[in-house]
Amino acid sequence: MTTGQLILNGIAAFLTLCIFSFLYKDNPFYKFAERLVAGVATGYWTILLYHTNFTDKVIEPIFINGQYHYIIPAVLGIMMWTRFSRKWSWISRYPIAFYIGIGSGVSITVYLYTYLFKQLQATISTPLTLDLAGLNVLIIVIAVLSALIYFFFSSAHKGIFNVASRFGIYVIMIGFGAGFGLTVMGRVALLVQRIIFLRDYIVALFGG
Amino acid sequence: MNHIDWFPRKLGIISLVLLVITWGGVLAQAPKDVLSADSLGAPAPAPPTNVRVIDKPNDAGHGLIIRWDLSADDTSGLKNVDRYEVLRSDAPDGEFISRGIVFRGVNEYEDVDDMKPTASSPNPNYMAEGSTWFYKVVALSNQQVYSEPSEIVVGTTRENLFHWGKLPILIAVIIFTAYLLNFIISAKKGKKLYIRPLAGIDAVDDAIGRATEMGKPILFILGLGTAADIATIAGFTILSRVAKKTAEYQTRVLVPVQDPVVLAVAQETVRTAYLEAGRPDQYNSDNIFYVTAMQFPYVAAVNSIMLREKPATNFYMGLFYAESLLLAETGNIAGSIQISGTDQIAQLPFFVAATDFTLIGEELYAASAYLSQEPVQLGTLKAQDYTKAIIMIIIILGAIAITGKWTFIRDIITIHL
């Protein structure tokens, strides 16, 4: 490790420890690291947006490529700036409405495809047979139906409906448990990675 | 520091070795001259025949499909075909360039390029709508010997107005919309639409009351979604309800956000809620503020707000990712009552484990309708329930049908992208 790398890694190790110090309690070191990272992130994001949105989607298309239809979203963007005026801030509601409307509309097809049709297709793709694979399919079908019943809001959960919805929530919780364990393992891996970084830095600093 | 200084030298040697290996690999992969049967003594495979070009269906006019009959030496004859190479030109006597390679046994190639050229990034391969292209296909043997090229064929790209592969989605949207309109009209006419109570919703008012009693603020976090995400939109509705109550009780509500558009919408939502509560003078736009757009810096900042402000109640309503547990655990340390809701399946386990009440997935949308009691939202929820009933029927019938080896139900709901 060169001297330059040693200094840079030293800063990284110091900031890592500052963030870890939050585990004890809120303190000036954590405050320093938190504000530094928030400030750097905001600055970085601003420049990134300038290049990936303003340059690519306003300057280049309109002034270089002559794609004048890009003026429409540019004007909508400028309308957002009216928020700074108490008198004209109502104008900013139009681009917001446009943005939310377009976003919701475009996502309908994607949502229906990924969250409905793909799942439906997968649920009814394997036949029910008198073996373990068939039992697996049966469990999946019953679990999906029960979970759907749990999310049925139009009627009270009473009688058989209550039994099915309770089974549905158990199924959902089993799924959550598996997801929880999987993600915790991922987080532990991240922690181990950071501890290895600190160990390597100490070894490089003092030898070992 | 000798034990450190030798490292760059070692790294340099390893890099040099890797460079030599990579260079050798590049040389091995470099395009070779077309070899004839004479130059190697190996026989050339028979060329593919009956090449035809058709417009790529269901696209915006930037693709063509090239099909051919396999070489006589592919699965029979000499059996020496290794792959097929598709060549393209913009004129029958122009220069043909390689567009792609497929392995033996495959007789189709999809040629697509929709990257429109710009002044800064020219793209000579761009396939504009209505453009005409000439193709030929050659077979390549496993000893790198090319066949004679096939005959030259021509094709023109065409824009398609309708994507027939997505027809089931259209039908589903029409059915859902029919239900939606029916229920919205019924609700507007005053028909009472029943929605079962949700545990998390009943806790909302209690949590606001607790904050008022303690004289502490409420922290409302809308997650990392954009203003167009469904979960964030549901979050705005719940924020509206919470803000209205806090305006009545004169409790502060803090809303740190990470997206400029979300900031604008959240400010509008809270301002309108204060207006409806008859306390526009109490509204302070500084309580709804932008932090930063990046995930973990945002988390660091919100965590410190939790520990310094010690809010009585934390609401997490919207789209959350890896930050969910970090936020919820810090809220626990701060001693806040926490109510969460998201449609992110991967994050729900953390909210279930770390917060007091959780709105699971669609419960978040239901909560939004339940709280607002608006005909449009109630109608939407009812329409969703009826669509779910249809889905359940399809699952039952589909499972029975597939067991009886009838695939028609599965085929009907299959989307061809």
Q: Is the pLDDT of residue B98 over 80?
A: yes
Residue B240 scores a pLDDT above 90: yes
Among the partner-chain residues A61, A109, A126, the one whose CB lies closest to the CB of B166 is: A109
Q: Who has greater pLDDT, B22 or B312? A: B312
Residue contact B353–A44, C-beta within 8 A: no
Alpha helices in chain A (DSSP H): 3-20, 28-49, 71-80, 93-111, 118-123, 132-150, 160-206
What is d(CA B227, CA B260) in angstroms, rounded to the nearest whole number? 9
Q: Which two tokens stand for residue A148?
A: 């759907």
Burial call B19-44: b when 16+ CB within 10 Å, e when fewer: eeeeeeeeeeeeeeeebeeeeeebeb
* Selection from A27, A36, A1 nearest residue A208 by Cα: A1
Locate the chain B residue with the closest alpha carbon to A208. B3
At B7 the pLDDT is 46
Q: Which residue of B has its CA nearest to A183?
A: B346
Q: Cα–Cα–Cα angle for B338, B223, B311, nearest 5°?
A: 35
Beta bridge partners, B89, equal B134
Distance separating alpha carbons of residues A147 and B366, to the nearest angstrom: 15
* pLDDT > 90 fraction of chain B, expressed in percent and rounded: 65
CA–CA separation, A2 and B130 (whole Å): 59
Whether residue A86 is predicted with pLDDT greater than 50 in this model: the reply is: yes
The rounded percent of chain B whose pLDDT value lies above 70 is: 90
Residue B226 phi/psi, 5° resolution?
A: -90, 170
Nearest beta carbon to residue B4 from set A1, A113, A120: A1
**Residue labelled with tokens 């859902």:** B176
> Which residues of chain A make contact with B165, given a CB cutoff of 8 A?
none
Mutate which: A79, A93, A153, vs B, most B CBs within 10 A: A153
pLDDT at A206 over 90: no
Range with the poorest average pLDDT among A158-162, B85-89, B200-204: B200-204
CB contact under 8 A, A179 and B297: no
pLDDT band at B198 (very low <50, low <70, confident <90, very high): confident
Q: How confident is the model at residue B85 (pLDDT cuts 50, 70, 90)?
A: very high
pLDDT mean over B109-134 = 91
Contact B140, B77 (CB under 8 A): no
- Rounded to 5 degrees, φ, ψ at B131 are -85, 150
Place of tokens 């900013």: A92
Average pLDDT of the segment spanning A134-143:
93
From B324, B329, B354, B369, select the one nearest B342 (Cα to Cα). Answer: B324
Q: Can you tell me the mean pLDDT for B354-380?
A: 87
Q: Are B142 and B103 in contact (CB under 8 A)?
A: no
CA dist B74 and B141 (Å) reads 9
B210 CA to chain A: closest CA distance, Å?
Answer: 25
Averaged pLDDT of chain B: 88
Domain extent listing, chain A: 126-208
Domains of chain B, each with CATH number or no CATH: 37-156 (2.60.40.10), 193-373 (3.40.50.1220)
- pLDDT band of residue B17 (cuts 50, 70, 90) is low
Shortest CB distance from B119 goes to which of A1, A64, A100?
Answer: A64
What is the per-residue pLDDT for A23? 85
B217 touching A, CB under 8 A?
no
pLDDT of the residue at B13: 59
Return all residues near B5 (Cβ < 8 A) that are at least 6 apart. Answer: none
DSSP B289-325: EE--SSHHHHHHHHHHHHHHH--SEEEEEEE--THHH
In the three-class reduction of DSSP (H, G, I as helix; E, B as strand; rest coil), residue B52 is classed as strand
Question: Are A10 and A201 a contacting pair, CB within 8 Å?
Answer: yes
Residue A106 has what pLDDT? 85
In this prediction, residue B287 carries a pLDDT of: 95
Please tell me the distance in Å from A21's CA to the nearest CA on chain B.
12
From chain B, pick out residues whose CB is under 8 angstroms from the CB of A175.
Answer: 345
pLDDT at B230: 85
The residue of chain A with its CA nearest to that of B329 is A23
C-alpha to C-alpha distances, B98 to B109, B112, B126, nearest whole angstrom: 12, 13, 14
Distance (Å, rounded) from C-alpha B340 to C-alpha B359? 6
ipTM of the complex: 0.81
- The reply to whether residue B388 touches residue A100, judged by beta carbons under 8 angstroms, is no
